[in-house]
């Protein structure tokens, strides 16, 4: 096991846990079998542990017990194999948590309407664990949350049983680092941060997770581990906001934003390339920084960069819709009554995840302006559970992106840059394309291409020239 920061808790592993890890005799539990929990449960089974997955959806549990996966990044064949081998089982019965030597909690931590953390799922899971808690158990929270949750919320609830963390049971925080659709970094090979509420807790957590992950990154406390996760995604959110602000500045200056960003990205030091887009999406970056903002407000500290970056990113769907309106106006067409095709509604390319997707806000704003809105996404056949009632059930324009569909559209808006879309066909058959991702560059055709920062049909890709010395 690689300890990438070298932190050593200096605590011996309790003998029962050493034997359970060495012989793979521990029974492991995972509460929540979604994008985070199911990959983790499968990795536990792959490592030889009997694994129980706890779900609230009977359909999900029944499907898993039939050997079917509902998560794109988890192969159904793996699920079927581990179920058949008796290493993986899904259940709705939280009473079976008592069977587990270790329990990983992977439940949602959304924000409420005023962007305060909603810990209701974590509290429900913790109360279920408390009801089954016995000496020697290891509890690991993986759900993203604000610094202090494990110590200040979970620990007191669990210690109401009369058991003490670090002596009678072990409590850690280890943030999930799932990147859906990433072909390179997956559950096992992504370095795993972990912190315990005591050194003994960390020792037990490290011992177990060292058998599941290629590299562990132990930190001094659960609070440190919680802050690692929100810092990682705050870093991304702020830098994406900067790229989005540069895009808007380029629009006012009449400068091609992709030309600027690609050229800046050739610098081999002191610069990390982030690209602009239609807004933030996904289960982490739009939400996680607000956990830190909320916590710091309770300490009379204002996280000004987070608040400003959030404001800039939240403006991008409106900025995109204004670009569509301006482009249609140049064609002497109002938004009301115009046929607008949105290409891509998932929050990122080549996945089927709609969570917090900026496409949903763009669709809603276009509808409000009276556009005849339709969408095409090869990964998302329908829109559901999106929070926008008017969009729920909005059908795809067509299963296939055809020349007839493109010709019958007044404006195409590229929101998600799926690699399976034929952008050459779009360039040849569409009249007008508002390209928020820069994917239309290099596709000549009859379409008028409008980007985040003006017209970009003639934009060359950035090149590095080696001049003779």
Burial code (b: 16+ CB inside 10 Å, e: under 16) for 122-143 equals beebbebbbebbeebbbbbbbb
| Burial class of 46 by CB neighbour count within 10 A (0 to 12, 13 to 18, 19+) | middle
Residues 172, 201, 250, 284: which is the catalytic one?
284
Instruction: Identify whether 284 is a catalytic site residue.
Output: yes
E strand map for 61-164: 88-91, 102-105, 138-141
| DSSP 8-state code for residue 217 | E
244: which 2 tokens? 């989005």
| DSSP 8-state code for residue 280 | -
The catalytic site residues sit at: 284
């Amino acid at each position: 096991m690689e300890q990438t920061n070298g932190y050593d808790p200096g605590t011996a592993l309790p003998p029962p846990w050493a034997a359970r890890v060495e012989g793979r005799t521990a029974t492991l539990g995972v509460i929540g079998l979604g994008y985070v929990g199911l990959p983790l449960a499968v990795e536990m089974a792959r490592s030889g542990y009997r694994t129980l997955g706890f779900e609230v959806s009977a359909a999900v549990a029944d499907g898993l017990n039939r050997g079917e996966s509902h998560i794109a990044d988890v192969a159904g064949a793996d699920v079927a194999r581990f179920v058949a081998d008796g290493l993986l089982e899904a259940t709705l019965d939280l009473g079976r948590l008592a069977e587990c030597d270790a329990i990983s909690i992977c439940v949602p931590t959304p924000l409420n309407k005023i962007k305060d953390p909603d810990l209701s799922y974590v509290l429900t899971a913790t109360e279920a664990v408390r009801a089954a808690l016995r000496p020697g158990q290891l509890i690991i929270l993986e759900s993203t949350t604000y610094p202090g949750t494990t110590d200040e919320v979970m620990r007191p609830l669990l210690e109401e049983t009369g058991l003490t963390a670090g002596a009678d049971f072990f409590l850690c925080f280890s943030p999930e680092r799932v990147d859906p659709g990433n072909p390179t970094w997956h559950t096992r090979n992504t370095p795993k941060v972990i912190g315990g509420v005591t050194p003994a807790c960390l020792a037990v957590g490290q011992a177990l997770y060292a058998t599941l992950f290629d590299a562990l990154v132990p930190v001094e406390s659960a609070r440190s581990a919680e802050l690692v996760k929100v810092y990682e995604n705050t870093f991304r959110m702020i830098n994406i906001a900067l790229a989005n602000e540069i895009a808007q500045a380029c629009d006012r200056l009449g400068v091609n934003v992709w030309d600027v960003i690609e050229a800046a990205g050739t610098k081999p030091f002191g610069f990390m390339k982030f690209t602009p887009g239609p807004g933030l999406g996904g289960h982490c970056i739009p939400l996680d920084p607000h956990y830190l903002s909320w916590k710091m407000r309770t300490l009379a500290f204002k996280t000004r960069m987070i608040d400003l970056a959030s404001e800039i990113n939240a403006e991008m769907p409106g900025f995109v819709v204004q670009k569509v309106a301006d482009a249609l106006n140049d064609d002497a067409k109002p938004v009301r009554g115009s046929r607008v095709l949105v290409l891509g509604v998932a929050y990122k390319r080549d996945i089927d995840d709609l969570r917090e997707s900026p496409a949903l806000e763009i669709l809603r704003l276009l509808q409000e302006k009276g556009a005849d809105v339709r969408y095409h996404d090869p990964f998302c056949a329908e829109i559901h559970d999106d929070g926008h009632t008017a969009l729920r059930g909005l059908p795809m324009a067509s299963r296939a992106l055809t020349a007839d569909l493109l010709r019958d559209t007044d404006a195409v808006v590229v929101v998600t840059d799926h690699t399976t879309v034929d952008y050459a066909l779009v360039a040849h058959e569409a009249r007008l394309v508002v390209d928020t991702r820069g994917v239309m560059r290099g596709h000549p055709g009859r379409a008028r291409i409008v980007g985040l920062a003006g017209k970009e049909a003639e934009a060359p890709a950035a090149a590095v020239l080696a001049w003779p010395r």
